[in-house]
Amino acid sequence: MPVAGRAGISSALIVNDRVFVIDCGRGSPSAFANAGLDFSRLEGVFLTHLHADHAGDLAGMLLYPWGVRVGDNGPLAPIRVYGPSRPEALPAGDAVFCRETTIHPELPAPGTTDLVDNILAGYAYHLNVMPLDARMPDAGALVRAIDINVRARTDGITQVPVIVVDDGVVKVTAVAVTHGRAVPALAYRFDTADGSVVFSGDTTVNDDLIALAQGADILVHQVADLGYLERHGITGAALERMAALHTDVTQVGSVAERARVHELILSHYLPAERDTITDAEWAQRAGQGFSGKTTAGSDGLRRALPRVTS
Ligand SMILES: [Zn+2]
């Protein structure tokens, strides 16, 4: 749900002058501008999963800055959008949590490439007509989508991270995490000469994420307070569902400790309303059992990687 005073989940990683965005939750294009980042430097978007709270503002992230995606030699290289591929099967529900209407039954569980294709299709009017009234870069150069094929976890078998990008400067690896029936849902690790950052996406406590994050400088991790939800009427099967989707505030510190990261930065709060739980309280509670530094993330928070020299 949109809440006052806090944007949705979206992070940016800047490596030299290159900008990578991880998730495009609510308000991400505005947050990008507020952070003083340059849309002409946006190189890649990495979606952890295709729930709307992580991908809902992808269309704006691609379309609003279209006009600046041009240089002296024509259109800039396309923005690359990486994310989950189509799942192998449409998950089923049960008696309590079931689907009544299947939307778009001909392709009921599209992947990232499908999502981007459909954004372009839905905005074909804008893309085809606007260049007649304003000088625009070739729309065909705007975006390229890449599906990441990560095998769903098989119990007891450790995942080998998938290499998503490795260009000698930035290496991006991903593993599937556990987020209810959102399969696949991904976590990403970025390794650079300046340092390493891991983004959890949405997940329960997950050994493959902990392995992926080993020794990272920063772990950006979602956090939920399931006890708060229970005190506010989410009980029984509904609470169990929430516990199968998210890492609780009582668990995230031990995740960071086991991963031996240097700093845990909390993000994507549940509940998100700022007047329910203070940042200080989130950090204090989440940091239990973690010997490193715990920071309650807030919109616009910045960190320099430890080995940045300029
Ligand atoms: Zn989420």
Q: CA–CA separation, 198 vs 174, rounded Å?
A: 9
| Crossing angle for the helix pair 112-122 and 124-133, to the nearest 10 degrees | 50
Q: Count Cβ atoms below 10 Å from residue 309 Cβ, excluding itself.
A: 5
- CA atoms of 222 and 270, how far apart (whole Å): 8
pLDDT the model gives residue 301: 98
The 10 Å Cβ neighbour count of residue 183 is: 19
**Cα-Cα-Cα-Cα dihedral sign, residues 47, 172, 196, 224:** positive
Expressed in angstroms and rounded, the spacing between residue 49 Cα and the centre of ligand 1 is: 8
pTM: 0.97
What is the full per-residue pLDDT of the chain (310 aa) written as tens digits? Answer: 999 999 999 999 999 999 999 999 999 999 999 999 999 999 999 999 999 999 999 999 999 999 999 999 999 999 999 999 999 888 888 888 889 999 999 999 999 999 999 999 999 999 999 999 999 999 999 999 999 998 766 777 889 999 999 999 999 999 999 999 999 999 999 999 999 999 999 999 999 999 999 999 999 999 999 999 999 999 999 999 999 999 999 999 999 999 999 999 999 999 999 999 999 999 999 999 999 999 999 999 999 998 886 5
Q: How much is the pLDDT for 281?
A: 98
How far is it, in rounded angstroms, from Cα 91 to Cα 102? 12
| 236 Cα to the center of ligand 1, angstroms | 21
| Residue (of 124, 42, 47) closest to 78 by Cα position | 42
Q: Return all residues near 167 (Cβ < 8 A) that are at least 6 apart.
A: none
Residues with CB under 5 A from ligand 1 (ion): 53, 202
Helical (H) or strand (E) element with 235: none
Q: What pLDDT, on the 0 to 100 scale, is given for residue 31?
A: 98
Looking up tokens 């294009």, which residue turns up? Answer: 29
How far is the centre of ligand 1, averaged over its atoms, from the C-alpha of 84 (Å)? 15
Residue 156: predicted pLDDT: 76
Q: Hey, how many other C-beta atoms are within 10 angstroms of the C-beta on 156?
A: 6
**Integer Cα distance of 135 and 128 in angstroms:** 12
> How far, in Å, from the CA of 149 to the mean position of ligand 1?
20
Are 199 and 248 spatial neighbours (Cβ–Cβ below 8 Å)? no
How many whole angstroms from 54 Cα to the centroid of ligand 1? 6
Q: What is the pLDDT of residue 93?
A: 84
Closest CA to 140 of 78, 71, 70: 78
Residue 123 tokens, joined: 């905005």
Spatial CA neighbour of 265 closest among 296, 288, 292, 303: 296
Question: Could you tell me if 48 and 202 are in contact, meaning their C-beta atoms sit under 8 angstroms apart?
Answer: yes
